[in-house]
Amino acid sequence: MTTNIYVNLPVRDLPASIKFFAHLGYSFNQHYSDDSATCMIVAENIFVMLLTEARFKEFTPKPIADAHTSTEVLVCLQVESREAVTALVNKAIEAGGSTYKEPQDHGFMYGHGFQDLDGHLWELVYMSGEPPKT
């Protein structure tokens, strides 16, 4: 059996979030989408459910974290090249997102990231080899 990963994120403006992530090149599974949620396809077995805050509250008794002031999750995606890291960060900025730190080059790993419209952190990494042995 294949295991799928579904990351659930609350969003304040679902149409704006869909537009933002579509600009980054992601597509959506309309079968799992309605006025309160959409299923963003990240990879073959990885999906992000973007849920309106009202819908998200149906799944948790805890208050929703304000991702602009605190970090509730750091989503990290591995991409195929350093150039892909930079390109995706640039697209996020073009679509209204922002960066939250400078790019990091660790030799075997290059990373950078962005904040989406709701402040969720997305880390992008390119792994070019094995980390050095200590």
Instruction: State in words which class domain 5-127 has.
Output: alpha beta
36-87: pLDDT as tens digits? 999 999 999 999 999 999 999 999 999 999 999 999 899 999 999 999 999 9
Residue 6's CB is within 10 A of a number of other CB atoms, namely 12
Beta bridge partners of 76: 123
100-134: pLDDT as tens digits? 999 999 999 999 999 999 999 999 999 987 777 76
